Chain A
Amino acid sequence: MRGSLNEMADSSAEGTQPDRPPLGSWARIYTLCCVLAVLVMALLYWFSQAFNVQS
């Protein structure tokens, strides 16, 4: 599915060449994005645990 969608996009009527993805592949970028999102959540969890006192 993904492959066919990307092929469709690449062959769009605009005819522009796709750029080289950042970090070499889109899969790496997506993984980095998800890992960072989880890290930010972990950081906020630590922040809540370290500072918040429920009343």
Chain B
Amino acid sequence: MGTLDWIVFFAFISYVVWDGVRRRSGATDLEGYYAGGRKIPWWAAGLSIMATQASAITVIGTTGQGHERGMGLVQSYFGLPFAMVLLCIFLVPYFRSRNVLTPYQLLEERFGPMSRTLASLIFLCSRCLALGAVIYAPSIALSAILNIDLVVAVVIIGVLTTTYTMVGGVTAVIWTDVKQMVVILVGLVIVFGMLLWELVPQLGSFGKVLELAGAADKLGALEIIPENTGLVPRTHAAIAAGIGDPSFWEQKYNVWAGVFGGVFLHLSYFGCDNSQAQRLLTSKNADESKKSLLLSAFAKVPMQAFVLLLGVLMWMFYTVTPQPMLFNSDQIAVAQSVEFEARIAPLQVEFDTAHAERKASMLALAKVEGGVTADPVALARYQTAVAEVDNVRKRARVLVTDEVKDGKAVDSKDTNDIFCRYILAEMPPLLLGLIIAAIFAAAMSSIDSVLNSLSGATVIDIYRRWIRPDCSEAHALRVGKFTTLFWGVVATFTALFFAGGGSIIEMINQVGSWFYGSLLGIFVMALFMRRAGDLAGALGLLGGMGAVLLVHNTVKIEFLWYNVVGLVGVLVVGFVTSLFVKRR
């Protein structure tokens, strides 16, 4: 990074922190601190909802996914618009029927204290785990850019974000989110422009770029016919014994999992997770809250497709220009060590040959008249070369990881390092600083949302409910600021455990899916199961999580479906309990 980049970077980060801190004047009571005084305009709340979900993970993890696997991930967002409509119809009016500060307060009124407290604790546990990953993602970028230890990077991000969130409350969170959303969109458009600037002159046109990416199977954005059609899930024992075929439920990305599994994931995330549901409580009335939700409903899927396309274009870029065999800086360091140097050298030669062949076959295919399928021989040559590069890269990763688990060599993927490596190597001065600033602003504005919502649930649902019900507003506010600090520290430490690799975007969704179905289930019970009382609600919640645990340990299904399992578990256990225990 040059001086100009540092100036842009520090200027923007300082502005975000200052902008957050200066909002402290609105955080003089609990309603100001956790609900922005119910004065936040719908568009600001809507952008904040998008920014909280987007964050640095969208930039780093999703582009990495696009690079490695193409556009299939977009399907997991197909359920989002439908989920938003359902939330607007059922949950928003319910949430806005009372002046609550967390949605879990409504559960006490409907069921009783057990259900409310349990739901709040589930939220606290799930979000705390996911928050670690949210801090970890931008820390990768910081450690790569500044060449500092990952632990130091985690601490810097954690401290900066916790500081202004603690002072400014949800108003600071929302207004910094608005700015970061604008900056991140500008950043993404700049990267898109840069990639096209490189690719179009070499390949002829944007259409040709897409054709060649598609020929490498990178543009499969929608899969209607699933790879596996069997509806009976395989048990882990059967998989270990090599018996049976993969079932429909094992496929991660297809349109059915995206629409039906995704609708439950997004219903739970936007409606029952306080880090998002809290935004619905900050606007002046239910109609404003609905508008803020619908902003995401209209924009999220196209935006996600755009970010994945960026990853695909990045893959195209690395096909026409030299590509590193390894993207992860730790893996590169291992590969360069004395112990591994001699073992990696033949792979490097193999990779260089495969990469050269991939480029040559792509350029040959680009010259074929009548589209890429007009010359099956050239197409097959290109696809073979693409597979060979992937194969060598995988072998290199396995080699430097040098770890065996369950009898298999571990492949520590570098999905999350690709975007950082690209911008560091390719972005011109000034723009690099802006992109890095965008990643950081995105990260901070996601972390702050979660910190404020964790603090809200702790103070409103636990402290003021059970520990000091008679405490003054000023005392509760002080405790709120302290708990923001507490959760900031906890989250920072949790992030240190995420340094194991893998795809962050999937990790976040997986952690959420363990709990979200149960949270959705209790709100569905609140709305539609009139006979259920507090015991039914609490047992239902435990039943939902137990169902997810049982399914996770017995059969293999993808994480999107855990939400459905949790929801069904809550409803079944809650209903059965309500047959025996009458509502008071």
Give residues in A with beta carbon < 8 Å to B: 1-2, 5-6, 8-14, 16-19, 21-22, 26, 29-30, 33-34, 36-37, 40-41, 44-45, 47-48, 50-55
Contacts and interface: CB of A to CB of B under 8 A. Distances in A.
Contacts of A2: 89-90, 93
Nearest to A54: B217
B387 to A, nearest CB: 7
A33 B84 contact: yes
B38 interface: yes
A51 B222 CA distance: 12
Contacts of B373: 53
Contacts of A16: 284-285
A22 B42 CA distance: 13
16 contacts: A1-B90, A5-B93, A6-B286, A9-B92, A9-B97, A10-B285, A11-B97, A12-B97, A14-B285, A19-B288, A40-B301, A48-B223, A51-B210, A51-B214, A52-B219, A52-B221
Contacts of B81: 33-34, 36-37
A44 B286 contact: no
B545 interface: no
Contacts, number: 122
Contacts of A10: 285-286
B78 A8 contact: no
Chain B interface, DSSP helix/strand/loop, else mixed: helix
Contacts of A30: 85, 88-89
B297 interface: yes
Contact of B298 (A19, A26, A33): A33
B297 A37 contact: yes
A5 B90 contact: yes
Interface in B210-227: 210-211, 213-224
A48 B290 contact: no
Nearest to A36: B298
B78 A37 contact: yes
Nearest to A20: B287
B96 A9 contact: yes
Given A12-B99, A14-B285, A34-B81, A41 B93 contact: no
B193 interface: no
A53 B217 contact: yes
Nearest to A42: B222
B263 to A, nearest CB: 11
Given A21-B287, A55-B216, 16 more contacts: A1-B90, A5-B93, A5-B97, A5-B527, A10-B285, A10-B286, A12-B97, A14-B38, A16-B285, A17-B285, A19-B287, A41-B78, A44-B71, A45-B222, A51-B214, A53-B217
